[in-house]
Amino acid sequence: MIEPANHADNVVQLRPQPRIYARSEHTISRKYVSESALKVLYRLDKAGFQAYLVGGSVRDLLLGREPKDFDIATNALPEQVRELFRNCRLIGRRFRLAHVQFGREIIEVATFRAQHDGDTEGAAMTDQGRILRDNVYGTLEEDVWRRDFTVNALYYNIADFSIVDHVGGVEDLRAGRMRLIGDPDKRYREDPVRMLRAVRFATKLGFLLDQATLAAIPRLRHLLEDIAPARLFDEMLKLFQGGVGLQTFEALRHHGLFHCLFPLTDEHLDGGEGEFAQRLIAAALRSTDARVADNKPITPAFLLAALLWHVVEEEAEKLVANGVTAHDALGFAADTVISKQIARIAMPRRFSNVTREIWALQSKLEKPTPKRIPRALEHPRFRAAYDFLVLRAEAGDPVQEEATFWTEFLAAEEGDARETLLQNLRSQPEGARTGVSAKRRRRRRRRPPAVAE
Ligand code: ATP
Ligand code: MG
């Protein structure tokens, strides 16, 4: 929803009075709030504190979606929260938060915080507009200001089951609109990750970015380069493993934000061979989305393998042109590309090692021989590497026949059926069967046939 209003008029300000939606005016029912969250809310309330459900849970409940987690805001200080709950830990340096644990579920309880411009003592310390420290306690009204989007700043009051809305969040929810609270330039400068969050929520919820929230992104997206790589890794998981990874990837590209996360990939996508990489990444994200929908396990190692594969291949080809053997080239290229990538997004080694193994296994799976097959099958990453080979084939890499061979081999019963497939393989000299050279010549890539709508 693009609003014609000019920039200054479009800035969301706190209303003089909040709009209170009574229990009869909204659809949130306690039936859909986790029991643990209700326990925390009730106990805070009974102890005389204010207690609200806030953030994504209120937003999602109003939309009829299942919240990922339940966050609580209160005027009780962290130490006071700890006194109320035995199963409570205080965490965080930048923000002091209470975590109340119920089995595997953690309810996060945050004390209302004020966020001023650094003119009051102890207020948020900033560095070029970026928030470094932010632990000044405040009131609910003040707490609204530190939240990012209007739809994330709704408070569900356990005392009377009403919703407190200071910024028109309910109207924005109904209109399907993501709007930053306050001046977008200032809010993005304080925390550039909000640009990624804007795109993530808009995609997940099917919302549109409000004009001012949208317009500031091209001006400020370069600020994401200063974000700590470890934080970007967390964000990356939310962006690509939240169930709508493919759409999110496309939206990030559209807004010029993907470059900040995967600069090498982004540059490759814009080059002449980009469409093959685009297709592989799309296939990997589509399969991740399907697995998320089915509650199947997923690993960032697999996505990383797809996101960087063509960059690594290109790098390896350069090395081969300079006389490095094909076998060594892939390993060297993987080292170079991964070390450049982790400077931007801190991918823990336990994942990047798996990514390397998936890549290294490709050349083995591309040349199945009776001797290599049993060894490949025993490799702990065989399944991931096979899935990756199939995606590559789908995306137009010249490995269709090899992928089909493995698919048939795996589908065949152990014993006779597999033995027949192996016999066929034995009767053909290596390479003749598929006619595909190990060099994976780029011009052999084929566009997959167009699928009829
Ligand atoms: P989800 O958990 O579904 O991804 P969420 O809205 O709950 O979405 P969280 O990251 O869990 O997002 O944060 C909870 C709330 O904290 C948000 O709704 C928002 O009000 C506030 N918040 C989180 N991160 C930021 C941020 N970077 N800037 C401002 N407010 C934030
Ligand atoms: Mg949340």
Q: What is the mean pLDDT of each run of 10 residues along the chain (453 residues)?
A: 48 89 96 97 98 97 95 96 96 89 96 68 54 74 95 98 97 97 97 98 98 97 97 98 98 98 96 91 97 96 97 96 93 97 96 96 90 89 96 93 91 80 72 44 56 52
Neighbours of 439 (CB within 10 A): 11
Decide which of 3.50.50.60, 3.30.450.30, 3.40.50.10490, 3.30.460.10 is the CATH code for 19-170: 3.30.460.10
> What's the confidence (pLDDT) of residue 110?
96
| Assigned superfamily of 254-444 | cca-adding enzyme, domain 2 (1.10.3090.10)
The number of the ligand 1 atom at minimal distance from the alpha carbon of 59 is 6
The number of the ligand 1 atom at minimal distance from the alpha carbon of 193 is 27
- Dihedral angle over CA of 182, 184, 186, 191, nearest 10: 110
Distance from the CA of 177 to the center of ligand 2, in angstroms?
18
- Assess whether the C-beta atom of 245 lies below 6 angstroms from ligand 1: no
> What's the confidence (pLDDT) of residue 430?
52
Q: How long, in residues, is the chain?
A: 453
- Assess whether the C-beta atom of 40 lies below 6 angstroms from ligand 1: no
Q: List the residue whose alpha carbon is closest to atom 28 of ligand 1.
A: 148
The number of the ligand 1 atom at minimal distance from the alpha carbon of 60 is 3
- Assess whether the C-beta atom of 341 lies below 6 angstroms from ligand 1: no
Distance from the CA of 320 to the center of ligand 1, in angstroms?
47
Distance from the CA of 67 to the center of ligand 2, in angstroms?
7
- Measured over the CA atoms of residue 278, residue 280, residue 281 and residue 283, the dihedral's sign is positive
> What's the confidence (pLDDT) of residue 450?
61
The answer to whether the beta carbons of residues 44 and 76 sit under 8 Å apart is yes
C-alpha 369/C-alpha 405 separation (Å) is 11
C-alpha 354/C-alpha 110 separation (Å) is 37
Domain ranges of the chain: 19-170, 254-444
The answer to whether the beta carbons of residues 248 and 200 sit under 8 Å apart is yes
Distance from the CA of 262 to the center of ligand 2, in angstroms?
25
Which residue, 345, 351, 91, is CA-closest to 196?
A: 345
Name residue, tokens 């009869």.
24
- Measured over the CA atoms of residue 385, residue 386, residue 389 and residue 390, the dihedral's sign is negative
Q: Which two tokens stand for residue 193?
A: 């990750």
- Assess whether the C-beta atom of 318 lies below 6 angstroms from ligand 1: no
